[in-house]
Amino acid sequence: MAARTESEVAPIKNRTTVERKSERELVVTRTFNGPARLVFEAWTKPELFRQWWVPKSMGMSLLSCEMDVRVGGRYRLEFAHGDSQAAFFGTYKEVTPHSRLVWTNEESDEGSVTTVTFAEQGGKTLLVLHELYPSKEALDAAGTGAADAMGETFEQLDELLVTLGASAGRS
Amino acid sequence: MVQYMSARLDASFAALSDATRRGVLEQLGRADASITDLAETFQMTLTGMKKHVSVLEQAGLVTTEKVGRVRTCKLGPRRLQEETAWIERYRQLWDARFDELDKVVEELKRKEKVDGRKNRE
């Protein structure tokens, strides 16, 4: 009941879509209920960026977040996941206030180039995030990486499903 | 609803975690096939292939229909491609991020209003 009350009060949630445009490209789109300059600000000020980039459901925490948002400037994000740590870093290639950001992901040779555009209309902002990977394999690896943490669970479930399937087949 | 969705996703991932089952989906993407056809194509026993098809069926990726003595398999109503499951997982990540970003944007809007009032005073 509590959840229902909350959802009635909250503004209508905009839908996030993800599309694989080609073998090497992923596109994420989402509308935000605010002007482009504020959405852009939330992407370019580290103290704001760190408030949303690592949601609790990721099971990770952000240890540090450095962003030098200008052409040729660098960023570095450090995460903790259980006992392990990971760092993501790269360089800003384009910075056009309130409308466009381009950066590289340099933590591996197979890193993507990310382009984010902000288009304002009627006080709302349509955000399009485009990721271009150097190869199909690199995109596949990045995608399955997102599901890797759950791999073991899936294998166990897999065995269970085979067992269930076998008993269903007998009946 | 969320639990139901994630149970469906778990089943999809599990179904897709096996190379033979991914092969079966690719095969059915080209044409419907009987379990006997599939067993021959993948050089398996009928029983083995029945198990695989059953896993795919439970994940909603495949439907089967028995006509006479032949059980025909086709892609299920969801017609998921092999990669759709991880794209959905990826979408959920961005969706969670953007829900948090919504809050940041709301807060910035609220601050602007307050500051705007102050500036007028």
For the stretch A15-40, pLDDT in tens is: 889 888 888 999 999 999 999 999 99
Look at the block and give the residue holding tokens 């940041």. B104
Q: Which residues of A touch B108 (CB under 8 A)?
A: 34, 38, 41-42, 48
Q: List the CATH number of the domain containing A41.
A: 3.30.530.20
Query: Look-up: residue for tokens 């092969």?
Result: B23
Of the candidates A34, A161, A165, which has its C-beta nearest B105's C-beta? A34
Q: Which of B97, B50, B58, B98 is nearest to B76 (CA)?
A: B58
Q: What is the pLDDT of residue A122?
A: 93
Residue A120 pLDDT grade (very low, low, confident, very high; cuts 50, 70, 90): very high
Q: What is the mean pLDDT of residues B87-116?
A: 89
- The pLDDT, as a whole number, for residue B101 is 96
What CA–CA distance (Å, rounded) separates A156 from B7?
14
Q: What is the pLDDT of residue B69?
A: 86
Q: What's the domain range around A126?
A: 10-136
pLDDT > 90? residue A59: no
Average pLDDT of chain B?
Answer: 82
Residue A73: what pLDDT? 98
Instruction: Please report, rounded to a whole number, the percentage of residues in chain B having pLDDT higher than 70.
Output: 82
Question: Does any domain span residue A76?
Answer: yes
The more confidently predicted of residues A123 and B77 is A123
pTM: 0.62
In a domain, A38, yes or no: yes
Q: Assess if residue A159 is contained within a domain.
A: no
Whose tokens are 């271009």? That residue is A132
The reply to whether A102 touches chain B by the CB within 8 Å rule is no
State the pLDDT confidence band at A72, using cuts at 50, 70 and 90.
very high
| Distance in Å from the first CA to the final CA of chain A | 41
Most confident of A81-85, A140-144, A161-165, B21-25: B21-25
Say what the pLDDT of residue B87 is.
79
Domain-embedded: residue A46: yes
A110 within domain boundaries? yes
Contact A147 B58 (CB under 8 A): no
Work out how many domains chain A is built from and give that number: 1
Residues of chain B in contact with residue A126, where contact means CB-CB under 8 angstroms, are: none
The band of A12, judged by pLDDT with boundaries at 50, 70 and 90, is low
In a domain, A17, yes or no: yes
Interface size A-B, in CB pairs within 8 Å, comes to 121
Measuring CA to CA, which residue among A127, A128, A130 is closest to residue A33?
A: A127
Which position has the higher pLDDT, B62 or A154?
B62
Regarding predicted confidence, which is higher, A121 or A58?
Answer: A121
* Cβ contact A146–B90 (<8 Å): yes
- Between the alpha carbon of residue A57 and those of residues A13, A52, A61, B14, B89, the distances in Å are 18, 11, 10, 21, 12
Does A67 map to a domain? Answer: yes
Sign, Cα dihedral of A57, B96, A6, A47: positive
Span A108-133, mean pLDDT? 94
Chain B within 8 Å of A63 (Cβ-Cβ)?
Answer: no
Q: Model confidence at A166, in pLDDT bands (50, 70, 90)? A: low
Q: Is A61 on the interface with B (CB under 8 A)?
A: no
When comparing pLDDT for B44 and A7, which is higher? B44
Torsion of CA B1, B90, A141, A146, to 10 degrees: -70
- Of all residues in chain A, the percent with pLDDT exceeding 90 is 50
Nearest to B94 among A18, A20, A161 (CB): A18
In a domain, A154, yes or no: no
Contacts of A53 in chain B (CB under 8 A): 97, 100
- The arithmetic mean of pLDDT across residues A88-100, rounded, is 97
Report the residue from A14, A18, A34 with minimal CB separation from B87: A18
User: pLDDT tens, B69-98?
Assistant: 889 998 876 555 545 667 777 888 888 899
A73 touches chain B (CB under 8 A): no
**Contact between A157 and B15 using a beta-carbon 8 Å cutoff:** no
Pick from B90, B95, B112: CB nearest A143: B90
| Chain A residue with minimum CA distance to B7 | A157
CB contact set of A8 (below 8 Å; sequence gap of 6+): none
Separation in Å, CA of A141 to nearest CA in chain B = 11
